[in-house]
Amino acid sequence: MIITLTANPSLDRTVALSAALAPGEVQTAASVREDAGGKGINVTRVLRGSRIDSTAVLPLDPADPFGAVLSGARVPVIPVEVAGVARANLTLADPDGITTKVNLPGVTRSAADAAALVDTVVEASVGARWLVLAGSLPPGLPDDFYVDVVAAVRAAGGEPPRIAVDTSGPALRAVVDAAHPDLIKPNEDELAELAGVALDASAPFPEQVAAIARSLVPARVGAALVTLGGAGAVLVSEAGAWHGTPPPTTVRSTVGAGDSSLAGYLIAESRGASPEECLRSGISYGSAAAALPGTQAPTPADILPGDVPVRALPRA
């Protein structure tokens, strides 16, 4: 079982444009779709599609139509009753797969909402293999909210789940500084911000990312899966570092690709795969998501043909 927490869920509305985005102009939409979104929900959807047991914990107003969208997507959830509907995020995707996102902040959550979320996650995580803390925090929750979740889960007794974190900014910094998660999944910019360094355009990209990740692994995190968009991903653990490149991909929407990469990694890890195979699986699922419109969850049938080469990265 893998439990996910989405503290700030969203109704993801994707508009496919018939031409490149032209700011200030009136344009025609080729199509539109709506998906139940939020990073943890996306991870659960991908895991379930690959027959890995997963349940999503999230705040949900009983009167929110978002619940019907979740039900239609067959996402198993443990809802925490709150007031206020989920935010709606807008994605504009042009024919070349270039996406423009507008994310709303979400409903302000109270201290009581935070406490209820923590209690529900603790209960749901009993016996779980992983707990995935994913996405931005809504207004009202402190930057160290994920730290509180990790502390409560680890203090609950028994064998706690491993902790994977996919967030950014102050929330990521807080959980890395205080909670030592087992896995983080930043992109290269989020990693550089976390480490307090600037990326050097003149240096080899994967090697540079691996060096930055090694400044955190294993002292502050167990491992780092760093997604690099079209350049693939880098995995750094105490055992080593690897870079993988994706198969040829016709990008239709990048929304949810990083979430699918994390899910792909967890799918392989849950089946006892090697670090190289976990990285390969993460890249395969991320590429498959990028080739699908909207925020669709790729299944094994969506994995793109072509090799995903993985190479070991030496220490500098």
Task: Show which residues are catalytic.
Answer: 259
- C-alpha pair distances (Å), 295 with each of 41, 90, 222, 289: 11, 11, 29, 8
- C-alpha pair distances (Å), 126 with each of 1, 41, 59, 119: 10, 19, 19, 12
Task: For residues 174 and 146, give the distance between their C-alpha atoms in angstroms, rounded to a whole number.
Answer: 8
Residue among 9, 19, 126 at smallest CA distance from 56: 9
Buried b (16+ CB within 10 A) or exposed e, 270-279: beeeebbbbb
Task: For residues 260 and 181, give the distance between their C-alpha atoms in angstroms, rounded to a whole number.
Answer: 19
- Provide φ and ψ at 4, rounded to 5°: -120, 150
